Amino acid sequence: MESIKIKVAGELIHARAGETVIHSLWNAGKAELIKTGCVGGVCGACTITVRSSDGKMKGTDLACMCPVEDGMEVFPCPVDSALSLAPEPNPTEEKLRKAFPKIDKCTKCGSCTSACPMSIPVMDSVLRMRSGQLDKVADDFTTCIHCGLCRFVCEDGVQPHMMGMWIRRSIGSSLEKDMGKKLDQDLGQAELEWKYLLEGTPVDRMNHARRFRKSGEIEL
Ligand code: SF4
Ligand code: SF4
Ligand code: FES
């Protein structure tokens, strides 16, 4: 396999064409240079920015998914974790604004969209948040790996991924509540039906069973 050279956090690494940045570090015994988690492109732990051999910045990437290229320079980009807020059932634009007042600081620069390794239209989604289209936002962030790059590049301190996650969790918690209520209702109804079918004289029970089979209903 062709041998190439890359630089990671200022250190020269001998790599093999075809492997990813992370695998080249493992093979070179330098795993500590970039944090890893899943090594499958889903956790966002291994975020990097990349400069190609011609000196051009290639933007952000995930080291476990990024193939090595001769002469490339890789800058690890660990993003500090941010405090996540508890979800609120039935989220609204007002509740979102209260939880994340910096939402209105967005200057529509587009850096977050360019930085996102999952191609999420982050800036458009922030604008959707501001106009209350929260269901659409929840869809936008379905593939978010929470790498934090959109927060990292935002000079205005907006936290798109934190808002996206809060919206998804808030909508999810509302659904769970509704589903729980529906389950209680269903169980209550089933109990009444069993009572109707099993209680009374043998003739009552036969008549009840006939009626229930025919109409699916019980007499209360
Ligand atoms: S990087 Fe920040 S200011 Fe720029 S579009 Fe994204 S959220 Fe708005
Ligand atoms: S939306 Fe932000 S946190 Fe989510 S994957 Fe994209 S850059 Fe990473
Ligand atoms: S290690 Fe999880 S995305 Fe790279």
Domains of the chain: 3-76 (3.10.20.30), 93-173 (no CATH)
pLDDT tens for residues 182-207?
666 766 777 888 888 888 887 787 77
Task: State the pLDDT at residue 94.
Answer: 95
Give the pTM. 0.69
115 Cα nearest atom in ligand 2: 7
Question: Which residues are paired to 60 by β-bridges?
Answer: 49
The 10 Å CB-count burial string (b at 16+, else e) for 173-186 is eeeeeeeeeeeeee
> Considering only CA atoms, which residue is closest to atom 3 of ligand 1?
106
- The per-residue pLDDT for range 72-99, each reduced to its tens digit, is 999 998 777 777 889 998 999 999 999 9
Question: For a substitution probing ligand 1, which of 103, 158, 159 has the most ligand atoms within 8 Å of its CB?
Answer: 158
Tell me, in angstroms, the distance from the centre of ligand 3 to residue 35's CA: 8
Atom 4 of ligand 1: nearest residue by CA position: 109
Pocket test residue of 113, 156, 161 for ligand 1, highest count of atoms within 8 A of CB: 156
Q: Can you tell me the mean pLDDT for 148-175?
A: 91
More confident residue, 216 or 198: 198
Query: Tell me: the pLDDT tens digits for 19-65?
Result: 999 999 999 999 999 999 888 887 888 999 999 999 998 888 889 98
pLDDT at residue 179 greater than cutoff 80: no
The pairing of strands 3-8 and 73-76 is: parallel
Q: What was the pLDDT predicted at 210?
A: 75
State pLDDT tens for residues 115-136.
898 889 999 999 999 999 999 9
Atom of ligand 3 nearest to the CA of 36: 1
Could you give the CA distance from residue 164 to residue 24 in angstroms, rounded to a whole number?
Answer: 33
CA angle centred on 164, ends 161 and 165, rounded to 5° = 85
Two tokens at 118?
Answer: 């999952």
